[in-house]
């Protein structure tokens, strides 16, 4: 296979042609979309638009076929055992809300425990809190070691308490650390827990193999996988999905409705009330098709090289306090400049057209553990270049100079 | 430290910002110098002691936090303010807001158009990104004092 040509890769993103002066390092927030995705959504609306699963006409049947084809592409990307194990949601947040709601009563009874970790995104904390509080379910939290990795010994000790559900992120959205998910799933399963992986940051790093990973649920958002916003996936094993009470009721998810009793449709429709984001699903499938034209190993190698250069450059800057470890890192560097507020650092980078995120990145429990008001986050994607790395380092150097003058 | 002391310490700084720093800020051509001045402004203001940063004084930005204290001299009908923020650039920008309204009467404050004034001072670009950094929230809080 020929080497990875980043310029050729980057050319497929019209966004960069419109913003040639910007260095975009906010990929953990959302990624840009290749032309193939934009085109697929556009064509869907221009040529194929109709509602799905309901029209008597051929146009609706065509749209339905495209929508179901998208599901099937995603199922095969994830190596799901069955196509109906892919449930479309509006994103990772919606999927986690469905899980937290849907497992109450069926799996979780009052007095039961669930297990989360210290570095979860609020989307993998708050939905559980909302429902656990109302149902008397106890939340335990896996702590971090001093080097900010998950404390696996403590994880095992907490598993011994017998949590019914264990939910953790594949990759930390703040630190970029890759969690040992295979090992964590195996341990949780041995302890008899239902396993949930928040793959919002993980899915772009590694094509997740559901049958190999063997987790019960894996969720992600399309927009962090070169796809559109407003579409995401709740993958679940068939047996696990059957445990879920639907969060949303409405059209298409039912079999029979009367005011006495309503019976639900079969999977996946039971968990997809209302008109879905049809164009979004088509766009996400297009993103996956497009991505599969590349060798992911090469994309990740390129990103690792950027990361290496970035760390190398950081080592020459004074006053930088790096929170992310360079090992087992998927391409995110969180840092602070002395005791300067991250918002000040980010604003000075913004002035130099370097897009980063500052703050607590929807992970307040992590920052209270780190005893920091926040951090500046540089997150890389395969379309970033060495020039992006160098420009961001120069901009950071300039920001430090202004801040510490 | 009491509110009276803080007000007494803050008032002359705000006056000084209005009389000298604002003009200097407008004269600077490059963004680096403008930002250096903005950060200096933040430093000039006396910090509000942690104990006094009560939750109801908090003006939340997306990434940083600020606190606004207010005193209305009813006899003279004049409004005075004290400010702090954990981010320096935001604090500098807020200091500019405050120096523009410092000592105004209720009627003046009600009429005051901060957006227009920032435009005149060529500071509009800072306001336009302000939804995140809390400047708009601070402007609303100031107006709500009259
Ligand atoms: C680890 C993690 N989980 C969940 C989410 C929520 O994703 P979304 O806002 O797309 O639903 C994010 C997004 O930032 C994330 O990084």
Domain ranges of chain B: 3-143
Question: Looking at the whole model, is its pTM more than 0.95?
Answer: no
**Does the beta-carbon distance from A402 to B35 stay under 8 Å?**
yes
Q: Are the C-beta atoms of residues B40 and B93 closer than 8 Å to each other?
A: no
- Which residue range is the domain that position A272 belongs to? 38-291
Q: For ligand 1, say whether the CB of A384 is within 6 Å of any of its atoms.
A: no
Of the ranges A233-237, A357-361, B23-27, B78-82, which is most confident?
A: A233-237
> Does residue A164 sit in the same domain as residue A222?
yes
**Residue A398 is assigned to a structural domain of this protein:** yes
Q: What is the pLDDT of residue B146?
A: 79
Closest to A291 (Cα-Cα) out of A7, A21, A37: A37
Distance A233 CA to ligand 1 centre (A): 12
Cα dihedral sign for A239, A244, A248, A249? positive
Chain A residue at shortest CA distance from B64: A343
**Does residue A1 belong to any structural domain of this protein?**
no
My answer on whether A177 and A307 are in the same domain is: no
Last residue of a domain, one of A270, A291, A312: A291
pLDDT confidence of residue B125: 72
Tell me the shortest Cα–Cα distance from B73 to chain A, in angstroms.
34
Residue corresponding to tokens 């690792």: A304
* Cβ within 8 Å, pair A405-B36: yes
Q: How many CA atoms lie within 13 A of A288 on its CB side?
A: 25
Atom of ligand 1 nearest to the CA of A171: 1
A345 touches chain B (CB under 8 A): no
The CATH number for A16's domain is 3.90.1150.10
Q: Is position A132 annotated as part of the catalytic site?
A: no
How many angstroms is it from A203 CA to the middle of ligand 1? 11
Please indicate, yes or no, whether residues A100 and A222 belong to a single structural domain of this protein: yes
A348 touches chain B (CB under 8 A): yes
One domain, residues A24 and A68? no
A272 and A305 share one domain: no
Query: Do A385 and A257 lie in a common domain?
Result: no
Ligand 1 pocket, mutate which of A89, A119, A172, A173 (most atoms under 8 A from CB): A173
What pLDDT does B129 receive?
Answer: 61
Q: Which of A291, A322, A353 is the last residue of a domain?
A: A291
Q: What is the pLDDT of residue B133?
A: 66
Q: What pLDDT is attached to residue A192? A: 98
pLDDT at B127: 63
For A399, name the nearest residue in chain B, comparing CA atoms only: B32
The domain spanning residue A103 has which CATH number? Answer: 3.40.640.10
pLDDT at B135 exceeding the cut of 90:
no
Q: Given an 8 Å threshold on Cβ–Cβ distance, is A343 in contact with B35? A: no
A300 and A253 both lie in a single domain: no
pLDDT tops 90 at residue B67:
yes
What is the per-residue pLDDT for B59?
86
Domain contains A156: yes
Do A147 and A284 fall into the same domain?
Answer: yes
What's the rounded Cα separation, in Å, for the pair A333 and A335? Answer: 6
B75 touches chain A (CB under 8 A): no
Q: What is the rounded CA–CA span in Å between residue B96 and residue A50? A: 54
What is the per-residue pLDDT for A53? 84
Q: Which of A291, A319, A346 marks a domain boundary?
A: A291
- Asked if A229 and A369 sit in the same domain, the reply is no
Going from the Cα of A10 to the center of ligand 1, the distance in angstroms, rounded, reads 24
pLDDT value at B128 more than 80: no
Q: What is the pLDDT of residue A265?
A: 85
CA–CA gap between residue B10 and residue A155 (Å, rounded): 52
Q: How high does pLDDT run on average in chain B?
A: 87
> Is B131 part of the contact surface with chain A (CB cutoff 8 Å)?
no
Relative to beta strand A332-337, strand A320-322 is antiparallel
Both A210 and A324 in one domain: the answer is no
Strand-pair category, A138-142 with A113-117 = parallel
Which residue ranges of chain A lie beneath pLDDT 70?
Answer: 1
The answer to whether residues A300 and A286 belong to one domain is no
Of B32, B35, B88, which is closest to A341 when you measure between CB atoms? Answer: B88
**Which is more confidently placed, A154 or B58?**
A154
Same structural domain, A22 and A163 = no
d(CA A385, CA A401): 24
In a domain, A115, yes or no: yes
Q: Give the CATH number of domain B3-143.
A: 3.90.1010.10
Task: Report residue B143's pLDDT band, with 50, 70 and 90 as the boundaries.
Answer: confident
Test A341 with B35 for CB contact under 8 angstroms.
no
Q: Residue B125, CB half-sphere, CA atoms under 13 Å: how many?
A: 7
B89's tokens: 């650039």
Distance between CA atoms of residues A79 and A81, nearest Å: 6
Nearest CB among A342, A403, A405 relative to B63 is that of A342
CA of A124 to the centre of ligand 1 (A): 8
d(CA A221, CA B129): 27
* pLDDT at res. A328: 94
Question: A385 lies in a domain?
Answer: yes
Indicate the number of domains in chain A. Answer: 2
Would you state the pLDDT for residue B132? 60
* Residues B55-63, mean pLDDT to the nearest whole number: 82
> How distant is the Cα of A359 from the closest Cα of chain B, in angstroms?
5
Cβ contacts below 8 Å, chain A against chain B, sum to 40
Q: What pLDDT sits at residue A260?
A: 78
pLDDT at A112: 98
Picking from B43, B63, B88, B131 by the largest number of A CB atoms within 10 A of its own CB, the best residue to mutate is: B63
Instruction: Give yes or no for residue A197 CB within 6 A of ligand 1.
Output: no
- Contact list, B38 vs chain A (CB under 8 Å): none
Whether A177 contacts A152, CB under 8 Å: no
Q: What is the pLDDT of residue A262?
A: 77
pLDDT at A208: 96
CA-to-CA separations, A14 to A264, A302, A323, in angstroms, rounded: 43, 21, 33
């Amino acid at each position: 296979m020929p080497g990875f040509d980043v310029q050729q890769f980057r050319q497929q993103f019209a966004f960069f042609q419109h913003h040639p002066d910007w260095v975009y390092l906010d990929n953990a927030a959302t990624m840009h979309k290749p032309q193939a995705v934009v085109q697929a959504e556009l064509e869907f609306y221009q040529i194929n638009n109709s509602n799905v699963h309901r029209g008597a006409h051929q146009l609706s049947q065509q749209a339905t076929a495209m929508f179901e084809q998208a599901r099937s592409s995603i199922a095969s990307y994830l190596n799901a055992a069955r196509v109906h194990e892919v449930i479309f949601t509006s994103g990772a947040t919606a999927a986690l809300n469905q899980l937290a709601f849907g497992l109450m009563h069926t799996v979780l009874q009052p007095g039961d425990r669930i297990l989360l970790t210290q570095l979860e995104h609020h989307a993998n904390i708050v939905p559980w809190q909302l429902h656990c509080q109302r149902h008397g379910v106890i939340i335990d939290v896996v702590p971090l070691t001093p080097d900010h990795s998950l404390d696996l010994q403590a994880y095992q000790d907490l598993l011994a308490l017998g949590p019914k559900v264990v939910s953790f992120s594949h990759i930390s959205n703040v630190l970029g650390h890759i969690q040992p998910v295979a090992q964590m799933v195996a341990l949780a399963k041995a302890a008899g827990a239902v396993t949930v992986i928040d793959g919002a940051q993980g899915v772009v790093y590694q094509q997740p193999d559901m049958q190999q990973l063997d987790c019960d649920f894996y969720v992600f958002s399309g927009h962090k996988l070169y796809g559109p916003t407003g579409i995401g996936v709740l993958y679940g094993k068939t047996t696990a999905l059957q445990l879920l009470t639907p969060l949303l009721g409405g059209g298409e998810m039912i079999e029979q409705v009367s005011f006495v009793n309503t019976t639900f449709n079969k999977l996946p429709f039971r968990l997809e009330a209302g008109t879905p984001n049809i164009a979004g699903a088509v766009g996400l499938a297009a993103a996956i098709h497009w991505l599969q034209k590349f060798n992911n190993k090469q994309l990740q190698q390129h990103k690792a090289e950027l990361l290496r250069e970035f760390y190398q450059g950081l080592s020459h800057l004074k006053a930088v306090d790096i929170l992310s470890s360079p090992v087992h890192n998927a391409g995110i560097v969180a840092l602070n400049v002395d005791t300067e507020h991250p918002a000040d650092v980010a604003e000075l980078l913004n002035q130099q057209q370097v897009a980063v995120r500052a703050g607590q990145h929807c992970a307040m429990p992590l920052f209270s553990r780190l005893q920091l008001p926040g951090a500046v986050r540089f997150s890389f994607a395969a379309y970033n270049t060495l020039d992006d790395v160098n420009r961001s380092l120069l901009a950071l150097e300039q920001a430090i100079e202004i801040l510490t003058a | 430290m009491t509110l009276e002391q803080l007000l007494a310490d803050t008032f002359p700084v705000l006056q000084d910002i209005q009389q000298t720093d604002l003009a200097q800020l407008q004269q600077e051509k490059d963004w680096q110098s403008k930002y250096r001045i903005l950060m200096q402004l933040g430093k000039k203001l006396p910090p509000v002691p942690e104990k006094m940063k009560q939750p109801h004084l908090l003006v939340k930005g997306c990434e940083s936090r600020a606190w606004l204290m207010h005193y209305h001299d009813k006899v003279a009908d004049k409004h005075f303010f004290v400010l702090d923020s954990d981010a320096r650039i935001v604090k500098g920008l807020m200091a500019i807001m405050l120096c523009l309204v410092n000592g105004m009467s209720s009627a003046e404050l009600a009429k005051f158009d901060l957006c227009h004034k920032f435009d005149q001072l060529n500071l509009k670009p800072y306001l336009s990104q302000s939804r995140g950094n809390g400047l708009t929230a601070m402007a609303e809080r100031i107006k709500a004092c009259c």
